[in-house]
Every structure is written in structure tokens, then in C-alpha cells.
């Protein structure tokens, strides 16, 4: 998928708003005001608010400042310190105008303040404005993590996702597999057909890989020039090798002519697969190094093929 298709595919969805207040009557007023335009969730205290933010990932929190135990400022600071919740727009609801408090709120990362008693027209307008800004910055953030040429995830996205998958593998003690892919004789392809054809080839190959690796929690990213990388959580070496073989088979079946390839008359790809049950004391890059080694061997043994290995750890050392 290319960037312009991606943008037009981002359908406008109903915003999710979490209303947090220790007084039920205040929640009711805001709920009545916003329920027709948004999906509304409610929380009565700070701890509940934080839990719900993690669970439902709202676009916005309307956050009362004065609450017992955990006040609104504490909740906001907590949300902004957690990468999982830091992008939620926070609007504080305060009892009265207080310059010092507002400065503190903005410094904590809030986007706006609404004062009680609630003015329905102003409140609706402020919520709408901030949700629009939020959806624009969400879109920019997601575009910044896409590869501009091929439309798959870029290397930055890969570097964000790998540690998350790694930790998940540590927690669940489940195997994590990566597939490193490299188009065979791609330099010769560019020399033969020119860079425009080279770019078109990269797009077709990327799209095919993306179509083949299709579980929602898998990731396909462009790793460099003509290299792609896949992260397959909860996947053992047999499963990973199977997927890699499907990719290799699907690329040659695209039948992209490559008359200077020494393997085939069509474009082919080689794959290195590595699998590990992650532990916290092993750096993630070991898994990439292992896949790179397998890829090198796949190239050496004739290309257009898959080689894979399980990464075995003994006394915190890879053997
Ligand atoms: Mg209150």
C-alpha cells in the first residue's frame, strides 16, 4: 500500500473519550453533552482512569483536577510517562480559573482546560478541535513509520516493534522468529533495467511479502536498500521457515524479468530465518545477526532459497 492509498484508507472513526471525575453529576453532564458524537467511557478515580486508558486507548481524556488519592495532575503525569498512553489528548476540567494550575497542567502535557460550570457550546467546540488535531498527529506519526517507496513499515518502526515483541516473548516464554530477506542480484537488476524499474520491483516485492505475512501482529519492514525483515511473534523455526519458503516461492512467481540474474530469468529472493525464546539478558540484535548469517549461507548455497537456525543460549551465551 502506498502513502496516498494509506491516507485515504484511514476512515474517520468515532472518537473515544474517557470522562474522569469523582462527582457522578459532573460525569453525567459531560456524558449527555457528548454521547451522540463520541464513544464515551467513564471513570470515578485516578487509578481507574489509568487502567482504562491502557485497556481502551481513548483519543481523549476529560480529566477532573480535584480528586481524592490520585488527582488529575498525577494521572496526567502518569499517562504522559507511559509510551502506551502518552499520545492521548488530555483536557483538564477545573473548578475555576487559576493561572498557576493551568501553567502546571500545560507543562504536564495537557492540550486544553475547560472550566466549571460547563458551557455546552464551548466545551463541544474545544473537544472537537482537540480531537481533530489528535487525529492529524496520529496520521503524521503513522506515516513517519512507513517506508515512502514501498509502503511497508520502515526501519524505525522495526526498531520500535522488535523490543516489544522481544519482551512479550520473554513474558510468555514463546519463540520469536525473524526473517531477513534480500533480493538476489538486485544491483544487476538496476544496472540492466534502470532505477525506475528497480523501484517498481521493490514495490512489487514488498507488497508480495506483506500479502504473505498476514497475521495482524506480524510486521514486515524495509530493512535497507533491497532488504526486508519480518517479525513473527509466537512462531517457532518450523513455522518461520514455512513462511519464508512461501515468500521465496511467491517472489519468483511474480515473474519479474531479470535477464542478468545468475539464478533464474525472473527476480528471486533469499531468506535467512532465526528463532529464539527471548530472555532479558540477551540483546535483540543477536537474533538479527543470526538471521543475517543464515541469509549469507542461503546466498552462498545458490540463492532463491531459505536457510534457518534456532538460536541456542547456554549460560547467557549464544552457542
Ligand atoms: Mg472533583
What is 198-265 written as a DSSP string? HHHHHHHHHHHHHHHS-STT-EEEEEETTEEEEEETT--HHHHHHHHHHHHHHHHTT--B-TT-SS-S
Ligand 1 centroid to Cα of residue 133, in Å, is 27
Based on the fold, state whether residues 94 and 164 are members of the same structural domain. no
Based on the fold, state whether residues 182 and 314 are members of the same structural domain. yes
Range of the structural domain that residue 244 is part of: 155-318
Ligand 1 centroid to Cα of residue 30, in Å, is 14
CATH number of 91's domain: 3.40.50.2300
Based on the fold, state whether residues 184 and 121 are members of the same structural domain. no
Based on the fold, state whether residues 208 and 295 are members of the same structural domain. yes
Selecting among 66, 99, 172, 226, the annotated active-site residue is: 226
Based on the fold, state whether residues 47 and 175 are members of the same structural domain. no
Please list all protein residues whose beta carbon sits less than 5 angstroms from ligand 1, which is an ion: 22, 64, 66
Alpha carbon of residue 151 to chain centroid:
14
Based on the fold, state whether residues 196 and 122 are members of the same structural domain. no
Ligand 1 centroid to Cα of residue 126, in Å, is 20
Whole-number pLDDT of residue 257 = 97
Whole-number pLDDT of residue 71 = 95
Whether 150 is covered by a domain: the verdict is: no
Whether 279 is covered by a domain: the verdict is: yes
Whether 149 is covered by a domain: the verdict is: no
Based on the fold, state whether residues 89 and 197 are members of the same structural domain. no
Active site residue 197: no
Ligand 1 centroid to Cα of residue 267, in Å, is 65
Whole-number pLDDT of residue 318 = 64
Number of domains present in the structure of the chain: 2
Based on the fold, state whether residues 137 and 19 are members of the same structural domain. yes
Average pLDDT, integer, range 218-230: 97
pLDDT tens, 58-114?
Answer: 999 999 999 999 999 999 999 999 988 999 999 999 988 889 999 999 999 999 999
Whether 148 is covered by a domain: the verdict is: no
Based on the fold, state whether residues 138 and 278 are members of the same structural domain. no
Domain final residue, candidates 93, 112, 143: 143
Based on the fold, state whether residues 161 and 118 are members of the same structural domain. no
Amino acid at each position: 500500500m502506498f502513502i496516498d492509498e494509506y491516507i485515504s484508507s484511514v476512515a474517520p472513526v468515532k472518537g473515544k473519550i474517557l470522562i474522569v471525575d469523582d462527582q457522578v453529576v459532573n460525569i453525567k453532564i459531560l456524558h449527555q453533552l457528548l454521547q451522540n458524537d463520541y464513544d464515551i467511557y467513564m471513570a470515578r478515580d485516578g487509578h481507574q482512569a489509568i487502567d482504562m486508558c491502557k485497556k481502551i486507548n481513548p483519543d481523549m481524556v476529560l480529566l477532573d483536577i480535584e480528586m481524592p488519592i490520585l488527582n488529575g495532575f498525577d494521572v496526567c503525569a502518569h499517562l504522559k510517562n507511559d509510551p502506551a498512553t502518552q499520545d492521548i489528548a488530555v483536557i483538564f476540567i477545573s473548578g475555576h480559573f487559576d493561572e498557576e494550575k493551568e501553567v502546571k497542567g500545560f507543562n504536564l502535557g495537557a492540550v486544553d482546560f475547560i472550566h466549571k460550570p460547563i458551557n455546552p457550546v464551548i466545551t463541544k467546540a474545544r473537544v472537537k478541535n482537540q480531537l481533530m488535531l489528535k487525529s492529524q498527529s496520529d496520521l503524521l506519526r503513522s506515516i513517519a513509520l512507513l517506508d515512502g517507496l514501498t509502503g511497508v513499515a520502515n526501519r524505525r518502526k522495526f526498531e520500535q516493534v522488535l523490543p516489544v515483541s522481544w519482551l512479550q516473548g520473554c513474558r510468555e516464554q514463546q519463540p520469536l522468529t525473524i526473517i531477513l530477506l534480500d533480493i538476489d542480484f538486485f544491483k544487476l537488476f538496476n544496472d540492466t533495467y534502470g532505477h525506475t524499474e528497480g523501484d517498481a520491483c521493490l514495490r512489487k516485492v514488498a507488497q508480495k511479502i506483506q500479502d504473505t505475512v498476514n497475521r495482524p501482529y506480524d510486521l514486515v519492514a524495509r530493512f535497507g536498500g533491497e532488504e526486508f525483515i519480518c517479525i513473527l511473534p509466537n512462531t517457532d523455526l518450523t513455522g518461520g521457515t514455512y513462511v519464508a519458503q512461501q515468500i521465496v516461492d511467491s517472489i519468483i512467481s511474480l515473474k519479474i524479468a531479470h535477464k542478468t540474474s545468475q539464478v533464474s530469468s525472473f527476480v528471486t529472493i533469499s531468506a535467512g530465518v532465526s528463532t529464539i525464546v527471548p530472555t532479558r539478558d540477551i540483546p535483540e540484535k543477536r537474533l538479527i545477526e543470526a538471521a543475517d548469517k543464515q541469509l549469507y549461507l542461503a546466498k552462498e548455497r545458490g540463492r532463491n532459497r531459505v536457510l534457518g537456525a534456532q538460536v541456542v543460549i547456554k549460560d547467557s551465551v549464544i552457542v
